[in-house]
A and B are shown apart, each in its own frame.
Chain A
């Protein structure tokens, strides 16, 4: 277990270092998320009444599409010079590669959210401070499930010919339940304030996270190793 954590840390720090130098995930994802929330802001006639209702859906659409764009990059880096083969030649457990990629993607998405959400609150005139803690929980758990599944699908699609096209085609249908639960829970916080709604969806999100993180951790070695 100690070796697994050490290897995960080494790969994660390497990913953070390369990302800070290239800014491919952060730069592209931020711009895309910003564009989505700005365009929706102009596209819908927002009023104080309908704004909270629409906001949760728009917020999760922005993170879903921009996050999908970002995770496709996480394995592209490993395809340059076939570094992924270099990783699999080392005695590192394949799970460490998955965990590091998952944590890196999760961290980068959280950074994007920290930058986007204040802009979103101002644009959509929302009051989320009342439930700030609960909002943070739902965002984190939504991101967790998204990246648990997204990292696995990105690893599958990176070896395919039309990878840019296939990643969203494979990933988005699988994420539909998570996005429905997350948008519903977010809406419960900023719109109705119905805590029963919030907690029932939170439980479903936790179940999604546990299932897909466990399954992805177990399946990853079969995806990364050539048959």
Chain B
């Protein structure tokens, strides 16, 4: 069994009568940047929730570094950016990051919060309540929150949705730097161009089944679109 990456073995997830994932096999090696595409309702978010430990598979198993995410030591190494920001509206940007840093056992929560606020260009707004932030600023703060413990594995669920051009550029640069640092990243997106620009591997999920999983090298945006349409319409 692979010990240093993410591994899904025959993962099936049911919500009552609805089967969201059907025996998904997936391997993301350490240092890979895996981008997952798929139509709405394909099961992408469910797969990500299982991988980051928010949901349990109905059958099969999902592991990170050979361990299930419910183990607290592994959770230390995982950062998640979801549709929801996980931020407290009544806390300031700095307080939010310091709070999460403390929960992750970071040694100097305040200093780490400052450093991350600078990296997402929100340092000037460090004393403002998260509830007063725009969608783009909230998303940037959410990115900083996911990085407080300097995770080795990062899960991103449509992180570019609602971002303005400035925020999207900051975020894309941040993603590239994470990839250069050999972090293992799994990103769900509908934006083919952005996904392809950062991906080392690409997957397509359709009705709970992984119908495509290849390296991104040699893939162009036109080719990707063609493959996507083919696989989704098949």
Contacts and interface: CB of A to CB of B under 8 A. Distances in A.
Interface string B49-89: 10011111000000000000010110110101010111111
Interface string A66-92: 000000000001001111011111111
B26 to A, nearest CB: 20
A93 B72 CA distance: 7
Interface stretch (B98-106, B169-177, B220-228): B98-106
A82 B145 CA distance: 14
A91 B82 contact: no
A203 interface: no
B90 interface: yes
A209 to B, nearest CB: 28
Contact of A17 (B52, B75, B95, B104): B95
A105 to B, nearest CB: 17
Interface string B30-60: 0000000000000000000100111110000
B211 interface: no
Contacts of A22: 90
Given A18-B88, A81-B87, A88 B54 contact: yes
- Most chain B CB within a 10 A radius of its CB, from A10, A17, A86, A92: A86
Nearest to B102: A10
Contacts of A83: 86-88
Contact of B86 (A6, A7, A85, A92): A85
Given A3-B105, A10-B102, A17 B145 contact: no
Contact of B99 (A10, A80, A226, A227): A10
B89 A90 contact: no
Contacts of B49: 226
A90 B75 contact: yes
Nearest to A20: B90
If over half of B's interface residues share one DSSP class (helix, strand or loop), that class is named, otherwise mixed; here it is: loop
B84 A7 contact: no
Interface residues of A, number: 27
Nearest to A79: B84
B91 A18 contact: yes
Contact of A89 (B52, B73, B90, B91): B52
Interface residues of B, number: 30
A85 B105 CA distance: 18
- Most chain B CB within a 10 A radius of its CB, from A83, A92, A225: A83
Contacts of A81: 84-89
A131 interface: no
A161 to B, nearest CB: 16
Contacts of B95: 14, 17
Interface in B15-31: none
Given A80-B89, A85-B82, A226 B55 contact: yes
Contacts of B88: 14, 18, 77, 80-81, 83
Interface in B106-138: none
Contacts of A14: 88, 91, 95, 99
A133 B100 CA distance: 40
Interface of A: 3, 6-7, 10-11, 14, 17-18, 21-22, 77, 80-83, 85-93, 225-227
29 contacts: A7-B102, A7-B103, A10-B103, A17-B90, A17-B91, A18-B90, A18-B91, A22-B90, A77-B88, A80-B89, A81-B85, A81-B86, A81-B89, A82-B82, A82-B84, A82-B86, A85-B84, A86-B86, A86-B100, A88-B53, A88-B54, A89-B53, A89-B86, A90-B75, A91-B76, A91-B105, A93-B72, A225-B56, A226-B56
Given A77-B90, A85-B84, A226-B49, 4 more contacts: A3-B105, A81-B89, A82-B86, A86-B100
Interface of B: 49, 52-56, 70, 72-73, 75-76, 78, 80, 82, 84-91, 95, 99-100, 102-105, 145
Q: What are the nearest 10 A-B pairs in CB distance? A: A86-B86, A82-B84, A91-B72, A18-B90, A90-B103, A91-B75, A10-B102, A91-B76, A21-B90, A81-B85
